[in-house]
Amino acid sequence: MNRPHSRVDVGVDVLLRAAGISLVVLNHATSVSQAPHFLAGLNVILVVAGFSFIRFLPQRASASQIRGALLAYGAGIGWPSLLMMAVSIAVFPFWRAPGRTAELSLHNVALFPVWYPVELVQFIVVLALVFSAPGVATTLARRQWLTTLALVVFTVLIRQAETHLWRTGVLDGSGPHLMLWNLAAGMMLFAATRSPRRMLASAASFLIVAALCWVTWGPGALRTWSTLAAAALLLGVSRVSLPFALARGLLIVSQACLFIFLLHKPAIWAFDAFTQTTDTIASFIWALSVTTAAWVICTAGSRALRRMPVGGRVAAVAPAR
Amino acid sequence: MGDTLVALERFAGLTALVDGARHVTYGELIDRADRLASALPPRSLVFLQAANTVEAIAAYLGALRADHVVHLVGETDEGRLGRLLALFRPNALIRSSAGGVDVEHLSGAAAPMHPDLRVLLSTSGSTGSPKLVKLSARNLESNALAIAEYLGITAADRAITSLTFNYSYGLSVLHSHWAAGASLALTEASVVDPAFWATFAQSGATSLAGVPYTFELLARNEAWAASPSLRYVTQAGGRMAPELARRLAGLGARHGWDLYIMYGQTEASPRIAYLPPKLASTHADCIGVAIPGGRISLIAEDGSAVGADETPGELRYEGPNVMMGYAEEPAALALDETPPALLTGDIALRTAEGLYRIVGRVSRIVKPFGVRINLDEVQAIARATLPDAVCAGSDARLVIAATQAPPVKFVDELAASLGLPAYLVQALQLDEIPRLANGKVDHQSLLRLSEAADDGVSGQAGSAPGEEAGFLGRFVHEMRNILGLSAQQWASVRDIYAALLNRPDVNGASSFAALAGDSLTYVQITLALEEYLGHAPEGWEGQTIDELERARDEQTAF
């Protein structure tokens, strides 16, 4: 029997993902009339996602391997997102919602659960476009840090340009195209840890992220400090040792990140509708729990369906007295 | 470096490499090698990705000729390579690419290196940790000459590249052929790929080098054995079943080639012993005699020399090919830590004919009740009754597993023959013997299966946990696993990857990164590895399944 140890080494990216998704839920569980809001989780998740995307590429990945990984990444996130979009639109037609216009605008769509899958699908599309550009994937395979730095610059330019071209109402500063630089920054942070000049690349990466956070959100914003904390942890601490029970809880939330991301808002709406309360903490706990539980149930069901037999199976035991 | 492996001008007109229809002479190889090496600063530390290509081999030769120190890495060692680069800070990294090799100039801050140091190799059992074997010119040359001598390699010989030269066995094939002015036929195909044998036939290769698994694969179709140009076959890299060795020797006798069973360790550059081919069919369970210039002795548990025949002791080797020590940090590169002799960790005995036979490993000795039990001996006893029996054990239990049902008195009789109480011995009948990705028996899984049987985890004999109760039972079982209410039972790293990535096609060379794993499955696999390995090694996502298995079941014999 494989027995768990009392302490487990957990990657800091895993913990950050759990913290990030919790902040997302907490932000939406907060009543609109209450302050402060916790607008920071998505930035942390995106930085971690960029970090992980490059981390899980073979270090000498070819251009086609990078595109293949992107495709797999997109399929893993895209199909559930599209499914969620379809269900959400069927169940919550946004044009019938009170206070909304029939205009098919990002502003209108964003205030429905559909915004989250849309966000993810847009990320995949933008990434696919970036990596299908001639030479990007090839250059990334050879000069990781410099390429990711260029990606950061490119995505910042996208942000600057699109802010002037596309008004997104209450979502100004929060649209996926506007936060793509977080993803690129995560890539750059990981590339820095692999660079032959690690210290120099890490320091430069951190300063670049700090400068961008400062300029984008200002020095007092929670998202500035949470993104910087995430960057510092990703650069400086690869793993932390935690008691098994605590680690297990955090790891489950981290694993359930996509489920929570897609489902938390309907869960909060349902809670508010049924309880008629605006209790932030209760709403947060409910939404996090129910969406995590949904992941556990779906994952257990999926594994039960395709469970692989172990290599050796006890068929009979000649008794040891 | 001495002349043997680098002053190859003496063979300038002879063919060094055969790459398809292209024949590269030693003269051309030297030109190419020197051009590549001239781009590096003097006495550099070079990390070189070994591949069976003209360019990679030329780069290696060039580095040796220019007096650089070379660490050879494999093509799938990316995670580990990253850690080694950060630790040893080499001057250059040479990677194989479609167009040849790419030279990447790095920090240039390599630590001081001992003047005798030439090559750094990974030990076969330490691929998860930055532990390198330091080899000098003397180590490499003496071993190459010894191998060339006992194999009788001449300039007319041509080996096919069935191994890559970052493995000490593959490197010794390269060196021993250089020492004799012989040639190599280049291929990166597997021995089960028809392209491999097409290359073999077209190039007129005269020898084949393989590990036991190679010959297990080849045993399925013996057509290869009739290759008309084949002069000899060598086997190393672990113990081959004597039955298979006898079968190979028989094939050789029928088709006119010799079988050399060999033994070694990377720490010995790597060859230590060989079995003369005329003894292959009669002494297939032996590793033979020491190579020319080497000496084998046996050491008893109390440190005294074993003098008598048929008396087991730890195999000790002395010779000019014994390494300069290990390097686990850059400072060690400056030191010559050549041990007086190499203690191999293998238990061997000397037969009356003067041949050595491996009978176990020091790590395969357990002491229940203080009784010294060699698990390999127990396995041999058990096989008299159960032909495919395998044995695992600890100081608390012995487990015999086989696919046949053990006779009623089996456990009692075996325990009595070992002088142990019967409750320490357990016999399991399994549908299939659990094996690691590299084909070796997974002893840890056997122990876990035994414990599971004791714990009653499986609920009933005949099923693994969770498999007995249909979908609902499995669902509950998986829920408990996810929530950490029960520990998952994994038989191997391959099972973990197959189950959690839903990729039943994974093999030993697969890594999480290469399988396009993502952050969503990363955590699941981290947890599973924690449970299976005891910890998830740093950078595990870049390591292959074989490397992760080896990190768990360290075997240093090569």
Q: pLDDT tens across B169-227, in order?
A: 999 999 999 999 999 999 988 888 889 999 999 999 999 999 888 888 888 788 899 99
CB–CB contact B430 A3 (8 Å): no
Q: Which of residues 95-124 of B touch A (CB under 8 A)?
A: 95, 102, 106-107
Q: Which of residues 154-183 of A touch B (CB under 8 A)?
A: none
Mean pLDDT for the stretch of residues B237-248: 88
Residue in A52, A251, A320 closest to B519 by CB: A52
What was the pLDDT predicted at A316? 37
What was the pLDDT predicted at B205? 96
- Lowest-pLDDT range of B81-90, B280-289, B358-367: B358-367
- Lowest-pLDDT range of A88-97, B20-29, B140-149, B309-318: A88-97
Residue in A1, A307, A319 closest to B487 by CB: A1
Tell the residue number behind the tokens 């992980």, with chain if given. A52
| Pairs from B494-497 (Cβ < 8 Å, separation ≥ 24) | B494/B437, B494/B545, B494/B549, B495/A308, B495/A310, B495/A311, B496/B525, B496/B528, B496/B529, B496/B532, B497/B525, B497/B545
Mean pLDDT for the stretch of residues B525-550: 75
Mean pLDDT for the stretch of residues A294-305: 85
Residue in B433, B455, B530 closest to A312 by CB: B433
Tell the residue number behind the tokens 């992941």, with chain if given. A295
Residues of B in contact with A146 (CB under 8 A): none
Q: Where are the alpha helices (DSSP H) in chain A?
A: 12-29, 41-55, 63-91, 106-110, 115-132, 136-142, 144-165, 176-194, 198-217, 222-236, 244-255, 257-275, 280-305
Distance CA B419, CA A156 (A): 75
| Nearest chain B Cα distance for residue A39, angstroms | 23
| Nearest chain B Cα distance for residue A167, angstroms | 32
* Between B318 and B405, the higher pLDDT residue: B318
Most confident of B50-54, B418-422, B435-439: B50-54
Q: Residue B481 CB: number of other CB atoms within 10 A?
A: 21
Residue A4, chain B, CB below 8 Å: the answer is yes
Residue in B423, B442, B452 closest to A320 by CB: B423
Q: Measured between alpha carbons, how far apart are the two ends of chain A, in Å?
A: 20
For residue B271, which of B227, B330, B209 has the smallest C-alpha distance? B209
Sign for the pseudo-dihedral over CA of B148, B151, B156, B159: negative
* Between A134 and A63, the higher pLDDT residue: A134
Q: Which of B471, B522, B523 to mutate to probe the A interface, most A CBs <10 Å?
A: B523
Residue in B82, B411, B484 closest to A244 by CB: B484
In tens, the pLDDT along B432-483 reads 888 776 567 788 788 878 776 654 333 222 333 444 456 777 788 778 877 8
Residue A6, chain B, CB below 8 Å: the answer is no
Nearest CA in chain A to B523: A255
Element (H, E) at B402: strand B398-402
Residue A219, chain B, CB below 8 Å: the answer is no
Say whether the ipTM exceeds 0.95. Answer: no
Residues of A in contact with B455 (CB under 8 A): 1
User: C-alpha angle with apex A215: A214 to A221, nearest 5 degrees?
Assistant: 45
Which band of pLDDT confidence, cut at 50, 70 and 90, is reported for residue B552?
Answer: low
- Percent of chain B residues past pLDDT 70, beyond the cut: 85
Which band of pLDDT confidence, cut at 50, 70 and 90, is reported for residue B494?
Answer: confident
Residue B433, chain A, CB below 8 Å: the answer is yes
Which band of pLDDT confidence, cut at 50, 70 and 90, is reported for residue B420?
Answer: confident
Q: Considering chain B, what is the average pLDDT of its residues?
A: 83
DSSP, res A56? T
Q: Which of residues 102-141 of A touch B (CB under 8 A)?
A: none
Residue A238, chain B, CB below 8 Å: the answer is yes
Distance CA B238, CA B241 (A): 10
